[in-house]
Amino acid sequence: MDTAALSSYEWGIMTPEFIILGVATLMSLLDLFAPARFDRRNIGWIGVAGVLLAMISLAGLFDAEVTTILHDTFRLDSFGKAFKLLLLGGSALVLILAISDDTREGLEEYRGEFYYLFLTALLGAMVMASSGDLITLFVGLELLSLSSYVLAGIRKRNLQSNEAAMKYIINGSISSAITLFGLSYVYGLTGSTNLLEIAAVAGTVADSKMVYLLGLAFFMTFIGLSFKIASAPFHMWAPDVYQGAPTPVTAFLSVVSKTAGFVLMTRVFLMIFVRIPTEGTGSMPFFYQIQDYIGFLAGATMIVGNVVALRQRNVKRLFAYSSIAHAGYLLVVFTTLQFMFNTLWFYLAAYLFMNLCAFAIIQLVTNGKGSEDISLFAGLYRKSPFLAVAMGVAVLSLAGFPGTAGFIGKVNIFMGALVDQPAHYVLASIMIAATVVSYVYYFGIMTQMFFRPADEKHGEKIHIPVGVGVVIVICVIGTLVLGVAPDTAYDFIDSQFKNFSDFFQ
């Protein structure tokens, strides 16, 4: 490729990615050459500034039309812009949590590495959100995954962290291999790695044998990506990784990484498999024929996540199973495909606020205690009313209580299951039952905070760093605003992203 061709590309659409790449490079050089006495927290603040700058540059691209560069491997569309906004916003909040950590998590020795590995993972997620090609998608996926493996095991001298990293690497490698195997079938059958070109070929398939092989490719890809989003029965790595990883890393995996996983599933399934006819051109698309199978997986994920969470005493394992259950709720969206983009974006935004709020408080309550037992929350209202009320808001939202963002998100998914024709009554019933079951362990945390006396051993008041306090306030406000006035989010989507109408352009 000559210089003229390179200069002809509209590189401006990659400004957010270039900013994250440049800041990550700068942070790695600072960590390498700065003296040992230099406080590595300052590197983290550079990372926060870089993420905020990337968000500003992304906002400047909101009015841009659909643009593709590098032979359509990178595309700027409403879908990419909307979900990159979530990725950047969540990452900024997680970075502030990591900076405000008082080093009892064992990060003090590797704090510099944490920050630029974190931005590298974010870069991979952003590339996935704007990918227009299978190769770009997989490169972004592996950039996110490899960085996440290291982050999970960054406490080298902690056995639980070592175990978390090992299980994450093994399961992640297997899932990546299965995903790549499925995508290789797609390439072999269509002769292209470009998503739009694959979609064009898949929509005109007339050979039943080719449909069968594309169906096999779908199931292999779906299984591989199910590992990434921790849906049952491919979820067993998540509780151990969530427990063993430092709390900021756990927050990142539960929010940013999960969002990236659903972004990847949406790109692949809607742009490729939703157009494949079952038996020749003109018949019902293959994707609609297998809705029941996806629905079964969604139901199993909701049931397993919520039921197993009932027996958890470790609060991070409890929230790991809660995360699994929420993956099940989101899979209902893929089953019905009703109001998909708006519902998916809103629920992931709500999940970002309520889950990050919970993990920020978990970090404060468990720090330095040598334990993560749920009993540490006993008497929290007396020790810190602010933290108890904020945790109450987050828990109520996760449970889907009216007046919170979680409630609106679940209602949208539930209505989508009923509006779809034929209606998914069984799946909607499972969703209601699973939500009711979740009240038991969510309200168990509420009981500890408001109705149990504080343990004398851990009865001291909790110091709230300014950064963590800011994160908690932002998350509580976001949770309540999206719950009380959800139209603000939907109006924002409609005005800025045009209901994602350019997804297939």
pLDDT digits (tens, 9 = 90+) for 334-345: 888 777 788 899
Q: Which residue has the higher pLDDT, 320 or 455?
A: 320
Q: What angle do CA 389, 395, 397 make, to 5 degrees?
A: 105
The whole-number average pLDDT for the span 356-379 is 87
DSSP output for 338-406: TTHHHHHHHHHHHHHHHHHHHHHHHHHHHTTSS--BGGGGTTHHHH-HHHHHHHHHHHHHHHT-TTSHH
In the block, residue with structure tokens 């993972």 = 121
In the block, residue with structure tokens 């978390």 = 164
The two three-digit tokens of residue 281, written as one number = 């051109």
Instruction: Mean pLDDT check: name the lowest of 123-127, 150-154, 286-290, 436-440.
Output: 286-290
Predicted pLDDT of residue 390: 94
Predicted pLDDT of residue 108: 65
Length of the chain: 505
* pLDDT digits 0-9 by tens, 75-112: 888 888 999 999 999 999 999 998 887 655 556 667 77
Q: Is 278's pLDDT higher than 60?
A: no
- Burial class from Cβ neighbours inside 10 Å (0-12, 13-18, 19+) for residue 365 reads buried
Predicted pLDDT of residue 341: 85
User: pLDDT exceeding 70 applies to what percent of the chain?
Assistant: 92
Q: Is 491's pLDDT higher than 90?
A: no
The two three-digit tokens of residue 340, written as one number = 């998909």
Q: How far is the C-alpha of 438 from the C-alpha of 434, rounded, in Å?
A: 6
Q: How far is the C-alpha of 108 from the C-alpha of 154, rounded, in Å?
A: 10
3-state secondary structure of 68: strand
Phi-psi domain of 368 (left: phi exceeds 0; alpha: psi -120 through 50; beta: other):
left
Predicted pLDDT of residue 144: 93
Q: What angle do CA 411, 236, 443 make, to 5 degrees?
A: 45
Q: What is the CA radius of gyration of the chain?
A: 22
Q: Which residues of 220-234 are buried (b: 16+ CB within 10 A; e: fewer)?
A: bbbbbbbbbbbbbeb
Q: At what angle do helices 159-190 and 134-152 cross, to 10 degrees?
A: 170
The two three-digit tokens of residue 90, written as one number = 């969540």
Predicted pLDDT of residue 104: 55
Q: How far is the C-alpha of 349 from the C-alpha of 341, rounded, in Å?
A: 12
Residue 244 — φ and ψ, nearest 5°? -80, -25
* pLDDT digits 0-9 by tens, 384-406: 889 999 999 999 999 989 999 99
The two three-digit tokens of residue 138, written as one number = 């997989």
Residue 163 CB neighbours (<10 A): 16
Predicted pLDDT of residue 282: 47
3-state secondary structure of 170: helix
* pLDDT digits 0-9 by tens, 187-216: 998 888 888 888 888 777 767 788 788 888
Instruction: Mean pLDDT check: name the lowest of 112-121, 175-184, 209-218, 483-492.
Output: 209-218
The two three-digit tokens of residue 114, written as one number = 């944490």
Residue 192 CB neighbours (<10 A): 16
273-276 contact pairs (CB < 8 A, 24+): 273/202, 273/214, 273/218, 274/337, 275/199, 275/202, 275/203, 276/202, 276/203, 276/205, 276/211, 276/214, 276/215, 276/218
**Average pLDDT value over all residues in the chain:** 86
Q: What angle do CA 255, 258, 260 make, to 5 degrees?
A: 110
> Number of helices (H) and strands (E), helices first, in the chain?
22, 2
The two three-digit tokens of residue 336, written as one number = 């019905």
In the block, residue with structure tokens 């979530």 = 86
* pLDDT digits 0-9 by tens, 53-80: 999 999 988 888 888 888 888 888 888 8
Predicted pLDDT of residue 25: 93
Q: Which residue has the higher pLDDT, 245 or 460?
A: 245
Residue 392 — φ and ψ, nearest 5°? -60, -40
Predicted pLDDT of residue 246: 86
The two three-digit tokens of residue 241, written as one number = 């990784």
* pLDDT digits 0-9 by tens, 136-180: 999 999 999 999 999 888 888 778 888 888 989 998 999 999 999
Predicted pLDDT of residue 281: 45
Instruction: Mean pLDDT check: name the lowest of 252-256, 304-308, 469-473, 495-499.
Output: 495-499
Q: Which residue has the higher pLDDT, 6 or 374?
A: 374
Quick one: how far is CA 487 from the chain centroid? 23
Residue 285 DSSP one-character state? B
User: pLDDT exceeding 90 applies to what percent of the chain?
Assistant: 41
